[in-house]
Amino acid sequence: MSENPTAIVVMGVSGSGKSTIGRRLADALGYAFLEGDDMHPPANIARMSAGVPLDDADRVAWLEGIAGWMEAQQASGRSVVVACSALKRAYRERLRQAGPAVCFVYLRVGHQELARRMRGREHFMPPELLGSQLATLEEPGVEESALTVEANGPVDEVVARVLRRLERQGPPGAPVGGGVQRRG
Ligand SMILES: Nc1ncnc2c1ncn2[C@@H]1O[C@H](COP(=O)(O)OP(=O)(O)OP(=O)(O)O)[C@@H](O)[C@H]1O
Ligand SMILES: O=C(O)[C@H](O)[C@@H](O)[C@H](O)[C@H](O)CO
């Protein structure tokens, strides 16, 4: 419970490590975690599984569900980490409306490494959709105050890098000089 709950949205294309890094961040910070993929309606999962990319209309209900969850956590004073692709600026704008301290961490990973990771796992998202993910992605602009983190390296390194950046800069809405603190 916090008077100024924070929401950290770990974003990026499929395979960038949102779930892996997001869970680890939530554990390290003692925040609740939401796997954004769990909020997709079954029709969206069916589309992606069939190799069909989602479009804006497909993503509306999904984003509303995630934003609603974030708003409920915010109202209860709980800080959260959310793994959500948030590929377009407009999607991020919607999620930003969920509270005063919504911060995006963009995991940037090279194309080759993304393809390698997607080929190496059992998942509903087929590697063939990587091209459309990259084509849809609008990387956060400087005016969005997102933290862009190079995320090609080992998981431990990426987690440590994100935590350092959060501690140094703090999310929007954090008290001046009051970056996110690790648990323990
Ligand atoms: N830093 C890393 N180094 C190597 N492999 C990683 C790294 N981060 C994640 N992986 C692996 O890459 C795959 C994709 O990771 P993960 O599921 O976390 O990505 P994601 O962005 O949540 O993907 P999706 O959006 O498709 O669910 C997994 O098999 C995971 O174990
Ligand atoms: O906006 C999207 O196209 C989706 O959110 C995808 O990014 C998938 O959910 C995810 O990559 C599958 O794991």
- pLDDT for 171 equals 57
Specify the long-range contacts of residues 37-40, CB closer than 8 Å, at least 24 apart: 37/83, 39/65, 39/66, 39/69
**Residues 16, 51 contacting (CB under 8 angstroms):** no
- pLDDT for 177 equals 41
What is the position in ligand 2's atom list of the atom closest to the CA of 59? Answer: 1
| Residue of 11, 13, 16, 20 best suited for mutating to test ligand 1, as the one with most atoms within 8 Å of CB | 20
- pLDDT for 11 equals 98
Residues of the chain predicted below pLDDT 70: 1, 170-179, 181, 183-184
For 18-58, the pLDDT digits (tens) are 999 999 999 999 999 999 999 999 999 999 999 999 999 99
At residue 178, what is the residue type?
A: G
119's tokens: 């080929």
Number of the ligand closest to the Cα of 109: 1
| Residue of 9, 10, 14 best suited for mutating to test ligand 2, as the one with most atoms within 8 Å of CB | 14
Q: ipTM higher than 0.85?
A: yes
This prediction has a pTM of 0.94
- Structural domains of the chain ordered from first start: 7-169 (3.40.50.300)
Atom 24, ligand 1: which residue's CA is nearest?
14
- pLDDT for 102 equals 95
What is the position in ligand 1's atom list of the atom closest to the CA of 37? Answer: 27
Q: Is 129 in the pocket of ligand 2 (CB under 6 A)?
A: no
Positive or negative, the Cα torsion across 40, 101, 163, 158? positive
- pLDDT for 2 equals 76
- pLDDT for 169 equals 80
